[in-house]
């Protein structure tokens, strides 16, 4: 099998991705949460951010400072955190990515550990694959009768698996 495509382990793909990506998974999680809050409030406070992500306030402060150095946030000590235009652009993408994966998993019937699965997938999916998932989500929204057929099929298969 020689198809001129190099195969890598999962870790190898992660390393390649990190070489191309400036933001760590943790940075992405922070930016997404900040963006979510800024949609409603226009800003977020460190204590609210820390509570939302289940981390300590000093950890949230350090991460906000790192993201500020990257030009994604404005932060005033003991004040509020606001997004720069570039931060908003990245945050919007991260939230859309999260929602796309979550909608897809709901469509295919994932109920248990939904958020865990979303979090694990969203940091690994490529932009191209994400785009294809969004197209599939749109397809099922456009043709609910096909989604209904899929749901019937999925349930019958799950019932068969229970019998085995």
Q: pLDDT: is 161 or 107 the higher one?
A: 107
Q: How confident is the model at residue 78 (pLDDT cuts 50, 70, 90)?
A: confident
- 């400036």: which residue's tokens? 22
Collapse the DSSP code of 22 into the 3-class scheme (helix H, G, I; strand E, B; otherwise coil) and give the result: coil
- 């349930």: which residue's tokens? 155
- Whole-Å CA distances, 62 to 17, 56, 65, 81, 135: 24, 10, 5, 12, 37
Q: Read off the tokens for 90.
A: 């990245």
Q: Read off the tokens for 27.
A: 């940075």
pTM exceeds cut of 0.75? yes
Q: State yes or no: pLDDT of 3 exceeds 70.
A: no
Q: How confident is the model at residue 12 (pLDDT cuts 50, 70, 90)?
A: low
Q: Where are the domains of the chain?
A: 10-90, 95-163
Q: Read off the tokens for 82.
A: 């606001």
- 């300590």: which residue's tokens? 56
CA angle 117, 121, 123 (to 5 degrees): 130
- Render pLDDT for 35-47 as a digit per residue (tens, 0 to 9): 999 999 999 999 9
- Whole-Å CA distances, 102 to 15, 49, 94, 97, 133: 25, 22, 12, 9, 10
Q: Does domain 10-90 have CATH number 1.10.10.10?
A: yes
Task: Tell me which fold the domain 95-163 belongs to.
Answer: Diphtheria Toxin Repressor; domain 2 (1.10.60)
């Amino acid at each position: 099998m020689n198809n001129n495509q190099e195969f890598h382990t999962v870790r190898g793909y992660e390393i390649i991705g990190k070489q191309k990506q400036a933001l760590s998974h943790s940075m992405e999680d922070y930016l997404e949460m900040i963006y979510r809050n800024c949609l409603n409030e226009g800003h977020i406070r460190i204590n609210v951010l820390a509570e939302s992500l289940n981390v300590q306030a000093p950890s949230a402060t350090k991460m906000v400072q790192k993201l500020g150095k990257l030009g994604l946030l404005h932060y005033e000590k003991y004040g509020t955190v606001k997004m720069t235009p570039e931060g908003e652009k990245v945050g919007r993408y991260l939230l859309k990515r999260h929602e796309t994966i979550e909608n897809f998993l709901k469509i295919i019937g994932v109920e248990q550990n939904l958020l865990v699965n979303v979090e694990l997938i969203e940091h690994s999916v490529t932009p191209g694959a994400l785009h294809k998932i969004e197209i599939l989500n749109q397809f099922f929204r456009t043709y609910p009768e096909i989604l209904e057929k899929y749901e019937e099929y999925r349930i019958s298969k799950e019932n068969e698996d229970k019998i085995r």
